[in-house]
Amino acid sequence: MKFEFATAGRIVFGTGTLRQIGGAARGLGRKALVMTGANPKRAEGLIEALTAEGIAATAFPVTHEPTVATVAAGSELARSKACDLIIGLGGGSAIDAAKAVAALVTNPGDVLEYLEVIGQARPLAVPAAPCIAIPTTAGTGAEVTRNAVLASPEHKVKASLRNHSMLPRIAWIDPALTLDLPPALTASTGLDALTQLIEPYVSCRANPLTDGLCLEGLRRAAGSLKTAVHDGGNVKAREDMSIASLFSGLALANAGLGAVHGFAAVIGGMFRAPHGAVCAALLAPATSTNVRAIRERRPDDGETLQRYATVAQTLTQDPRAGIEEGIAWIRELVAELRIPRLADYGITAGDLPEISDKAAHASSMKANPLPLTSIERLEILQLAL
């Protein structure tokens, strides 16, 4: 058995703790670029806390999922302002953009030089600038991962900028920041977290440390996601989902993901489709196809099948539940939360072969419990269409 575990230098968790962040930030820099979501007004409290500690702050809104151009513009602004600290306040888009800017502000050259798949995948010559990640959604776990997913509209694909030094120096999780999330966004991001807890647990790279995180995260998500969607002001449910999201990020960064995220990365590059909702639409089809493939082609792989059964028992809170009951639970949850199907984003049957072929080379696919055939990949997509 061999594994390693890496995460943010410091993790701070607590409802209402954001107002305490200024002192921690002061130890990392004096001029901060604050990458926010589409509404920079949400960062006013943070900027006030930074200003009180003598830290000059400049806001940079990330109005959509980050692109290569977004990061190039953010890096240029950070250099012009001599920023020595990058802060991401928002969902996965703002945090990924912040991590990427932190990497590019200290390293010369074009973004594409460092990107995987469509770029040269050059390692960073200089460690990334200090970064603080503050999630305002509960889903991506981006606050504790070492990569940034960037879209390249020209290539119609998403690719990662990845380096150990991109792990945030501080991941600051205040569930109070998620209390005003609308139900649809709560649902899609929460299902993303759920997916990111299931895939690492059944991954071919799973390890005992991430196993514990996945199961505890699944227990909390299964018990609180519906409540968070239907009663957004429920602090306990919001705390559970923030923990589930955090644990999902810790798990995926150290055990990998699987077919759902392999497809989602490709679909997100080709279509205007929100990542979390795409993952939710694919989760049950990918699970059922993976299970059938294992039974047919690896019938002696009882350990992985038992892992799927454990997932089912955790989700249903029934120690006697089988794998099929777990898949049915996922389907019912996705239907109750009104998650769109892939066709609702303009995806047609004619697009599926291209998506399948591209997904076969996605980095997330490498951690799937077993390599999927082209027929199996197409089956997943057709079931989600």
- Pairing status of strand 147-152 against strand 157-162: antiparallel
- The residue among 199 and 113 whose pLDDT is bigger is 199
- pLDDT category at 12 given cuts 50, 70, 90 is very high
- pLDDT category at 57 given cuts 50, 70, 90 is very high
Residues 62 and 150: beta-carbon distance below 8 Å:
no
pLDDT the model gives residue 110: 87
Q: Mean per-residue pLDDT for 96-111?
A: 93
Q: Mean per-residue pLDDT for 313-332?
A: 97
Q: Is the pTM of this model over 0.85?
A: yes
Structure token digits, residue 47 = 């900027």
Q: Which CATH number fits domain 10-178: 3.40.50.10440, 3.30.70.270, 3.30.70.330, 3.40.50.1970?
A: 3.40.50.1970
Is 63's pLDDT higher than 90?
Answer: no
DSSP symbols for 106-157: TS-S-GGGTBSSSS--PPPSSPPPPEEEEESSSS--GGG-SEEEEEETTTTE
Q: In what order do the strands lie in the sheet with 56-61?
A: 10-13, 170-173, 131-135, 85-90, 31-36, 56-61
Q: Which residue spans of the chain are classified as CATH 1.20.1090.10?
A: 183-384
CATH number of 183-384: 1.20.1090.10
Q: Which residue spans of the chain are classified as CATH 3.40.50.1970?
A: 10-178
pLDDT the model gives residue 154: 82
> Per-residue pLDDT tens for 125-170?
999 999 999 999 999 999 999 999 988 888 877 888 899 999 999 9
Please give the biggest Cα pair distance in the chain: 63
Is 245's pLDDT higher than 90?
Answer: yes
Is 42's pLDDT higher than 90?
Answer: no
Q: Is the torsion defined by CA of 205, 209, 213, 218 positive or negative?
A: positive
User: How many CB atoms within 10 Å of residue 219?
Assistant: 17
Is 1's pLDDT higher than 80?
Answer: no
What whole-number percentage of the chain has pLDDT above 90?
Answer: 85
